[in-house]
Structure 1
């Protein structure tokens, strides 16, 4: 049976894509996530979680998406529609305000910034697994964007790699309520070890 304890030296918070384009008004994707984010209180819950996690000494890992460049995917054989749109819109564009960290939720001193991921999984073609292992992490708590894509893909791969995976259903957002439902009620139970609210997570962290 899985141990229920979130030991501070074996647990990490994985915050995905804390960019201005997602989290700040005027960001290219802010309006797309705003409705679901506000519906679950995502911004306030992230504040609560980060405050408790940092106070407990639990490490925070920042999992950033690739910062767009005009020549992205040139010569690639298999560019998917989402990547094509990212190139067209220059989401999180390198050198732009949208590609900068959100001033409140971006990395702080001591956080681990993982290599940028090109698609959805923060494990694929990055140093995330190596960084987690070197820090002695066994449990990963996923928050940020987007619930049914990057969060799900990273969580699934993490489970396959032997990590205990926790989703926090009110500390994430998606582009629709249907996507949020799919992420937590349909797909999440197939790979996550725990799907919690912020309140339940913070209680478990403090036990």
Structure 2
């Protein structure tokens, strides 16, 4: 079917930071193998290029970048927040907290306020910014398969968005986690589950393989 009003569809890029995606990032030793297996970096570039070429709105849902005092207002630290604090991961003024080269926001993109745990919608302005533009359909890509991507997708569905997930434009901390999530969990959450080539072909042909 025809893309449901290109001006009502947004590509959401979650946490494309050096800490995850660079070989010199603190998370690379844990996520690098899955990133390479999924060909994540070329796939993200391909999807971004395709989305921009057909005029889709691009939005970034960035993770909280660590600085002294991060999470001091939290009564109960989530394990991911405790780990971020211990490793000073995604430092606001450091390499790990910078966007990976070639995946940076561009003029006209939405850059939401930072999420502090897993969902890109929780305690951020992402929903408000999307609603101001009349966005109804979301395509989610980035990091990580079974944490921020899954949580953001669940929140998006709860908020009434049509959600598309892309199996090889996400990665996580182990091959087992990744494959079990995209095979068993994604079909239970999303309205459509595609791979990169299917998505790009759909965008370029201005068709999508889902129900509106």
Residue 182 of structure 1 and its aligned partner are, at CA, apart by 2.7
Rate the CA distance shift 1:177–1:4 in 2: closer, same or farther, 3 A: farther
Q: What TM-score results when the alignment is normalised by the length of structure 1?
A: 0.94
SS in 1 for 2:164: strand
SS in 1 for 2:167: strand
Larger mean CA deviation between 177-186 and 55-64 belongs to: 177-186
Residue 76 of structure 1 and its aligned partner are, at CA, apart by 2.7
Rate the CA distance shift 1:22–1:110 in 2: closer, same or farther, 3 A: same
- Equivalent residues of 1:6, 1:204 under 8 A apart: no
Deviations 1:49-101 (A, max 9, x none): 11111111101101100001222223532112211110010111111111111
SS in 2 for 1:98: helix
Distance 1:41 1:200 in 2: 15
Q: Does residue 86 of structure 2 align to residue 127 of structure 1?
A: no
Distance 1:114 1:30 in 2: 25
SS in 1 for 2:142: strand
Q: 1:53 aligns with which of 51, 54, 66?
A: 51
Q: What TM-score results when the alignment is normalised by the length of structure 2?
A: 0.92
- Equivalent residues of 1:61, 1:112 under 8 A apart: yes
| RMSD, aligned α-carbons | 1.3
1:7-22 to 2 correspondences below 5 Å: 7-22=5-20
Deviations 1:143-175 (A, max 9, x none): 000010000000011011110101001111100
Q: Which runs of 4+ in 1 moved over 4 A?
A: none
Counterpart of 2:22 in structure 1 is 24
Residue 4 of structure 1 and its aligned partner are, at CA, apart by 6.5
Counterpart of 2:77 in structure 1 is 79
SS in 1 for 2:77: coil
Distance 1:127 1:137 in 2: 14
Distance 2:189 2:88 in 1: 32
Deviations 1:98-155 (A, max 9, x none): 1111121111121110000000001110011111111111110000000100000000
Structure 2's unaligned 5+ residue stretches are 207-212
Distance 2:181 2:58 in 1: 23
Structure 1's unaligned 5+ residue stretches are none
Counterpart of 1:139 in structure 2 is 137
Distance 1:4 1:89 in 2: 46
Q: 1:118 aligns with which of 104, 109, 116?
A: 116
Q: 1:164 aligns with which of 162, 172, 179?
A: 162
SS in 1 for 2:7: coil
- Equivalent residues of 1:148, 1:182 under 8 A apart: no
- Equivalent residues of 2:78, 2:117 under 8 A apart: no
SS in 2 for 1:82: helix
- Equivalent residues of 2:112, 2:125 under 8 A apart: yes
